[in-house]
Amino acid sequence: MSASWPKGYGLKVLDVVDSTLDEAARMAPQLAGPVWILAKEQTAARGRRGRVWVQPNGNFAATLVMRMTERPDVAALRSFVAALALFDAVAEVTGRAQGLALKWPNDVLLNGGKLAGILLESAGTGQNPGHLSIGIGVNLAEAPGASEVEAGAVRPVSLLSETGTSISPEDFLPHLAAAYATRDLQFTTYGFAPIRAAWLDRAARLGETITAKTGAQITTGRFETVDTQGNLVLVTPEGRKAIAAAEVYF
């Protein structure tokens, strides 16, 4: 299960930190290049919309931080790059892609359960080009209990329980970093089109009826595609709707 570290990417490993995303923000002003930050323990981890992210011992928590050299809408498409890299890394360490799927906008599923989540944060003002942080959590060893996730959410699963594969965060990171570097090179060279096509090939519930919730607005329709801006496209009784941000329920 060896993987070589990608050229041009830095690495910082911490025993304990409040959050790898917070550490990324602190490091951002001095960045010379992209850096992976791995934490063995987080005391204030967070998920989407400020939710608490539960990290049992042995699970993976890391953030990739980089200078943002593109428009924010283009940089945001790296959530799809990261999702594909996670898919690739898990398939490599387990020796199989069977049971893996990608859930819009930023989850990786294994055997129908949530294995991993991705959270993007960006910052920048005035003449400061800003930075992009890609936070990634993977249930390598243990899945949070049902009481620790919101009602209606996809059940959490772990890599160990679903595949029997035991791997430490320190050993998993080189696989993910190498996979990300490969996918990111594809993105910067050829644009979003090949990333979008590869993501759709691995999309969960494509062609099926799903529900997207944004605040108080709920939209149910057939999952037709993800468009060239990364929006979820649903076919509803009122017509096609492109949704930029939402929580998706099956």
Q: Give the span between the Cα atoms of 31 and 79, in whole angstroms.
A: 21
User: How confident is the prediction for the chain on average, in pLDDT?
Assistant: 92
Residue 53 corresponds to which tokens in the numbers above?
Answer: 């992210």
Residue range(s) occupied by CATH 3.30.930.10 in the chain: 10-201
Q: At what angle do helices 192-201 and 78-94 cross, to 10 degrees?
A: 50
User: Stretch 127-142: mean pLDDT, rounded?
Assistant: 88
Q: How confident is the model at residue 65 (pLDDT cuts 50, 70, 90)?
A: very high
Q: Does the structure show a pLDDT above 80 at 51?
A: no
User: Stretch 9-38: mean pLDDT, rounded?
Assistant: 96
User: Stretch 43-55: mean pLDDT, rounded?
Assistant: 66
**Strands ordered across the beta sheet of 217-226:** 239-243, 232-236, 217-226, 209-214, 247-249
User: Stretch 157-174: mean pLDDT, rounded?
Assistant: 97
Beta-strand runs (E) in the chain: 10-17, 35-42, 60-67, 100-103, 107-110, 113-123, 131-138, 209-214, 217-226, 232-236, 239-243, 247-249
For residues 226 and 146, the model is more confident at 226
The fold of the 209-249 domain, in CATH, is SH3 type barrels. (2.30.30)
Q: Does the structure show a pLDDT above 90 at 105?
A: yes
Residue range(s) occupied by CATH 2.30.30 in the chain: 209-249
The superfamily in CATH containing domain 10-201 is Bira Bifunctional Protein; Domain 2 (3.30.930.10)
Q: Does the structure show a pLDDT above 90 at 241?
A: yes
In which residue are the tokens 């400061």 written?
128
User: Stretch 77-102: mean pLDDT, rounded?
Assistant: 98
